[in-house]
Structure 1
Amino acid sequence: MKIRVALRQAMLAVTLALGAPLMAQDGGVPPLSAYGELTAIEDMVLSPSGERIAMLGTFGGKRMLVVADRQMKNLGNFTIGDSKVRGFDFVTEDLLMVHSSATGRLGPGFTQDKFEFYQAFLFSIDGRKTDQVFGGKADLVKATFGYYGTRLIEGRPHAYFGALEMKQRIGSRLEYEFDHGRPALYEVDLVSNGARRIAPSPPEGKDRDWLVGSDGTVLATLDNDENSGAWTLTSRGNVIAKGQSKTGGAWLISIGRGGKSVIYGTLDDATDSVSWYEVPTDGSSAPAEVFADEDVARIYTDGETGELIGYRKQGSDLAPVFFEESRSTRAKKIRRAFAGLNSSLVDWTSDFDHVLVRTDGNGDSGSYFNVDLAALKADPVGWERPAVAAAHVGQISTVSYTAGDGLELDGILTLPPGRQASDLPLVMLPHGGPHSQDTEGFDWWAQAFASRGYAVFQPNFRGSTNRDEAFVQAGYGEWGRKMQTDLSDGLAALAAKGVIDPKRVCIVGASYGGYAALAGVTLQQDLYRCAVSVAGVSDVSLMSRIENRDGAKVRRRSLERQLGPKERYKEISPRGHAAKADAPILLIHGRNDTVVDYDQSRKMADALKDAGKPYEFVELKGEDHWLSLGETRLAMLKAAVAFVEKHNPPN
């Protein structure tokens, strides 16, 4: 009890300290750049000792990776520019590893013309070392294809990556050319940047995955047949499990507690149910089901050993569950200290004495704290959107409602700051995925619309991950059907409560949400004044063909399981119903999108033009599916807000 009270008091002091930088910005409505640009702090991690913090963000107008001590003294920085950083971490106290990606073009003979290549770079804090993993290997593609963790071997850090091996060009000893796209497993000495193969690539038609043990050797190998779905799990050369799943195969999850078992997952073809199993690496007993009564959304593993140390349940409760009681107790204390906010544990030291916590929610546009549990102290170390003051954050709440078929649903409602929840114009904002979810946190897109006077509703329609696995599977085969009416049922519920004016609604979304936006004004009628689709799917048949271009039958069967019978794809594709569009449509798409093909928007634009329907089309040059670049992300937001304001004025 004393610890809890002391920690709450420490957090109260931090909250008061935060008032100065935030409230100094209070006044008029923040510009759209306050929401649409990349955040001032994008991410941060702790060093192994907890004495250093690495932060990715914009400092003095420059996007950099900065390393500081606990007193926030700058120890080193690296200019990042427009690089698409996907993650970074301390390898040692003095060495950082940064993962980034870049969109590259592929030559003739490949099944796709663009691919998102991932790379890993090493930076020493003193600036003396800057290396690219596989950068000096002529016989390897200068990219990584899967990251399998870092291990400390005889005092030296080693990392494990999938790598594509090149073959010698005929007639040349020095030149290499592409061979095949099946990665082998390589160990990289992170001090010397030397690399060696420790496991071969799979044969053609097989997909292979690995788990690396604490000693740096391959503990488990899983092979999936891409056509039959047959799979085999081996450890140290011995088969410890095998089976078949025509729609999902099997997948590795983690090393079990103690390092002497492997946890893997399978999909039952008959019931569509997912099960996890644990099996000893020595094969001394048969696989046993684990977490049978839990729907696990995320697992936590030990960074040094790869062993499972905890998990988070699927749903809106983000509280982690750790197997070590003291760690679980400390995590609960931290969450209680930040009660009322959406808080998450970003990083921590192995002893859990130092924890980085990120918060957002009502009155908080995104903040980072460095929590010292031994000293019962929490220091603010960064703000994501300092121009968005507490008073500018629209009120966020969860609204429960019932679908037309009786299914219980909910969604996140964001209200415009300073306005009563009565007769408001609405922006319907369904999430992407579709297997994802929205929670009571600060959403930059929702808050941007709210700042302009709109209520924003983000429905967790069937197929979302905010509930159990059965709720996810309730969305199978429901694209354009019940997944779509779940949105309009939410609209009706808000109208019945008097919160919104049902005659002043636009629908906006990205990826699957972009599909839902297009479907809302083509497959449905008389609901929305306008629709904005960002990187949305317009033709389900085209998406299916692109997804299945590698010919893998397991993937094709899995996609059909989620979408429903392919003979129905035409009737759920907005492109084929363009002539029925009953509201203006804005299409926005990044040219470098490798997830939803740019042609999805281009072909929808052509269909709308042929049908004589009002539309606009904005191309984001150089942008990918995730809106990774600050300039084009802001361009997207400005175009979307202007379009909604034109067709559905907030006043």
Structure 2
Amino acid sequence: MKRFLAILSFALLCLFDLAAAQASAAVTPLSVYGQMPGFERAAISPSGDLVAIIGTIGDQRRLVVTGKNAEAIFTLPLGQVKIRDLFWAGDDRVIIYKSDTVALGLGFTADKAELYSAIVVPLGQGQKIWSVFQGKSAVTGGVRGFYGVRQRGGKWYGYFSAITLEGGGKTERYLVSTKPALFEVDLDTGSSRMIGLHAEDDVFRSWLINSSGGIGATLDFVSNSGSWTIENGAGHKIATGRSRFGGIDLVGLGSKGTTLIYGTTDDESGASHWIEVPLDGGASSEILGNVEIERSFFDQHTGQFLGYSPAGDAPEYHFFDQRQQKIANATLKAFPGSVVTLADWNDGFNKLIAVTDGRDDPQTWWLVDIKSGDARPIGQSYVVPAAEVGPVKMIRYKASDGTEIAGVLTLPAGREAKGLPVLLFPHGGPAAHDTVGFDWWAQAFAARGYAVLQPNFRGSTGYGAAFRHAGNGEWGLKMQTDISDGLAFLVQQGIADPKRACIMGASYGGYAALAGVTLQQGLYRCAVAVAGVSDVAKMVATDRDESGGDRTLIRSLAQEVGSGRNLAAISPIRFVDRVTAPVLLVHGKDDTVVRYDQSKDMAAALRRQGKTVEFVTLRSEDHWLSRSETRLAMLQAAAAFVEKYNPADPVASPASTGAASGQSK
């Protein structure tokens, strides 16, 4: 496929100009890595004529819509809005899905929560931007769930769930249930109507929308017993079962629209299954057996199953339509040597947005035109000079018990991979996995002379049910030694200097960083924990209380983490007296996933023992580092800390990074 090198004519061109200007510098400033990506996400309209982009132009973050000739036809300042998704409903409106951290006040089981909103952005001149459920006195708490969009009678409708209030007038309304109901929202007028009632208190309900915009199926899951029932749109039961750990969900309509696909997870083995059953009832059958699904694709108009991407080291695409499969294959082949992700496509599947990583590529976004055979770059996520992008590869090593572990290794660009200082960087989750690609955090440290290993320890997704299930009950145990076994492998290969190793991570990775200097000793010169768990027993108690004592959650936590005295045995805060390495704790004050107190308590415990500890509070930041200012503050603090206690070899010249200069010692 021919690559057409024309760039968007509007201000995104400055991204490439800046990258060229920095090419002469030895180290890119931390601000380039630490701020939100200059090009965050993009979506293509159903016709393929328009592209919606969220990115930073100059010093302002914006939504930009471009036309057929790549000209900007619409712009909207976004500021610090926390964008969670971006999609189209027709060619004349964009929907932005966002969240805000909100204080709940008295009477709630949690003091804060992340509440979601859907913002409808009409592109017509003079039309007002509005929010779903805006001004609806019978709705509270924003959008609780999004179930897609459908076109009917030439109009577009969106399907959202929300908690409802009942009563007479606006001032007399009261909360009956915290379970959401389902609404159809007219995306032209903003009017809404309830089409699905909320469930009983112990029941969690979700819906599937059919091709015409009606309820195709309803799933009711009873938390106390684990029993579940799926009914079709006519209210007839078409499937039932039991899942003690909540392993049941509606996936979507089958490829022909006459069947339903639901997913189950076996309580004992952890194996996942996709089951297909006729919507009008009948015999069910398993599909895609022994395939772990990373992404699934559905038609925006009909909701029908188009294809999937299996979990693995690099993206693969399987479409049921032969033409779509050929186009997907051709697109991947057009970028030899790169990791290619298909981010979006139009209805005709002849214009696609692809994202490339690797091969000196700091994540480039492309508009692929199948008819013309052109691929045009529309932006880069990070303005890092190609020569400074560290090489990334997947490695495999044996854990101490013989289990094969995969990991992503990022190395400094232009340096011999021998005797390097190293950072072990376990991922969060822990049910997640790292893949080969441009990781802003890993690349920032690789640019400063460090080898960075991101191990996919047991308990990670992407390697089958047995591997994921093997992490149950192994917090601080085999999951932890899987990480340090990766360090041993790099030392054995001559890549890493065993005397210059640190461990860092966020969320579960932050827990692993703390466990690396408490439950383990003598391996790491320092530890950096961002939003990390220090007291597992307190985490379990908090999750239980904030869920209102949900039985499914309690069972799941006991299976995954453990219970009783075992929780104390794997809690880093109980072993601060063993710490011999400096510790950096970083935590967002608005974190609703791992509570701020987890780091606050750990810092206090370390100080009482006279240990070397630094604690950085990120004001107005959540669990996901969603704001540029605080994300950069985290990276600056982490870089300064690591370079102080585990200095890398001298670089050609220091980076200009402000508080944390990036200068190696």
**1:574 aligned residue (572, 575, 578):** 572
Cα separation, 1, equivalents of 2:160 and 2:625: 26
Contact preservation (8 Å) 1:231, 1:249 = no
Larger relative contact order (Cα-Cα within 8 Å, sequence gap ≥ 6): 2
2:147 match: 148
> Counterparts in 2 of 1:481-520, with a 5 A limit?
481-520=477-516
Cα separation, 2, equivalents of 1:410 and 1:268: 25
Change (3 A) 1:13 1:133: closer
1:196 match: 193
Cα separation, 2, equivalents of 1:243 and 1:82: 44
The one-letter amino acid of 1:647's match is: Y
Tell me the CA shift for residue 565 of structure 1. 4.1
1:588 match: 586
The one-letter amino acid of 2:157's match is: H
1:230 to 2:227 alignment: yes
What is the DSSP-based 3-state SS (H/G/I as helix, E as strand, rest coil) of the residue aligned with 1:335? Answer: helix
Cα separation, 1, equivalents of 2:167 and 2:117: 23
1:480 match: 476
Tell me the CA shift for residue 110 of structure 1. 0.9
Cα separation, 1, equivalents of 2:219 and 2:322: 32
Cα separation, 1, equivalents of 2:253 and 2:180: 21
Cα separation, 2, equivalents of 1:173 and 1:369: 49
Cα separation, 2, equivalents of 1:20 and 1:133: 39
Cα separation, 2, equivalents of 1:196 and 1:163: 12
1:292 to 2:289 alignment: yes
Contact preservation (8 Å) 1:11, 1:338 = no
1:628 match: 626
> Counterparts in 2 of 1:60-99, with a 5 A limit?
60-99=58-97
1:4 match: none
Contact preservation (8 Å) 1:477, 1:564 = yes
Query: How does the TM-score come out when normalised to structure 1?
Result: 0.95
CA RMSD of aligned residues (A): 1.7
Cα separation, 2, equivalents of 1:19 and 1:199: 49
What is the DSSP-based 3-state SS (H/G/I as helix, E as strand, rest coil) of the residue aligned with 1:604? Answer: helix
Q: What per-residue deviation string (whole Å, max 9, x for no partner) do you get for residues 172-193 of structure 1?
A: 5544343331000000000000
Contact preservation (8 Å) 1:450, 1:456 = yes
Tell me the CA shift for residue 554 of structure 1. 1.4
Query: How does the TM-score come out when normalised to structure 2?
Result: 0.93
What is the DSSP-based 3-state SS (H/G/I as helix, E as strand, rest coil) of the residue aligned with 1:364? Answer: coil
> Counterparts in 2 of 1:416-427, with a 5 A limit?
416-427=412-423
Q: Sequence identity of aligned pairs in percent?
A: 45
Q: What per-residue deviation string (whole Å, max 9, x for no partner) do you get for residues 364-413 of structure 1?
A: 10111100011111111111112x11001011122211100001112111
What is the DSSP-based 3-state SS (H/G/I as helix, E as strand, rest coil) of the residue aligned with 1:588? Answer: strand
Tell me the CA shift for residue 229 of structure 1. 0.3
Cα separation, 1, equivalents of 2:97 and 2:6: 36
Contact preservation (8 Å) 1:412, 1:459 = yes
1:207 to 2:200 alignment: no
**1:363 aligned residue (347, 360, 364):** 360
Say which is worse superposed, 543-552 or 56-65, in terms of deviation: 543-552
Tell me the CA shift for residue 10 of structure 1. 2.9
**2:3 aligned residue (10, 15, 40):** 10
**2:449 aligned residue (445, 453, 461):** 453
Cα separation, 1, equivalents of 2:278 and 2:21: 58
Tell me the CA shift for residue 157 of structure 1. 0.2
Cα separation, 2, equivalents of 1:335 and 1:305: 27
1:406 to 2:402 alignment: yes
Contact preservation (8 Å) 2:292, 2:462 = no
1:381 match: 378
Q: What per-residue deviation string (whole Å, max 9, x for no partner) do you get for residues 503-562 of structure 1?
A: 001101000100000000000010000000000111111111122222111121112111
Contact preservation (8 Å) 2:120, 2:129 = yes
Cα separation, 2, equivalents of 1:353 and 1:203: 45
Contact preservation (8 Å) 2:247, 2:265 = yes
Change (3 A) 1:503 1:50: same
Cα separation, 1, equivalents of 2:579 and 2:126: 57
Say which is worse superposed, 548-557 or 146-155, in terms of deviation: 548-557
Contact preservation (8 Å) 2:93, 2:121 = yes
**2:250 aligned residue (244, 249, 252):** 252
Tell me the CA shift for residue 493 of structure 1. 0.6
1:124 match: 122
- Number of matched residues? 638
2:653 match: none
Tell me the CA shift for residue 47 of structure 1. 0.9
Q: What per-residue deviation string (whole Å, max 9, x for no partner) do you get for residues 250-276 of structure 1?
A: 211111122111111222223332222
Tell me the CA shift for residue 248 of structure 1. 2.1
The one-letter amino acid of 1:282's match is: D
Gaps of 5+ in 1: 1-6
Contact preservation (8 Å) 1:431, 1:513 = yes
Contact preservation (8 Å) 1:522, 1:574 = yes
1:463 to 2:477 alignment: no
2:521 match: 525
Cα separation, 2, equivalents of 1:533 and 1:232: 42
Contact preservation (8 Å) 2:269, 2:465 = no
1:542 match: 538
Say which is worse superposed, 365-374 or 125-134, in terms of deviation: 125-134
Tell me the CA shift for residue 202 of structure 1. 0.2
Cα separation, 2, equivalents of 1:335 and 1:72: 23
Tell me the CA shift for residue 220 of structure 1. 0.2
Contact preservation (8 Å) 1:41, 1:57 = yes
The one-letter amino acid of 1:96's match is: V
What is the DSSP-based 3-state SS (H/G/I as helix, E as strand, rest coil) of the residue aligned with 1:143? Answer: strand
1:637 match: 635
Gaps of 5+ in 2: 8-12, 650-665
Cα separation, 2, equivalents of 1:383 and 1:315: 24
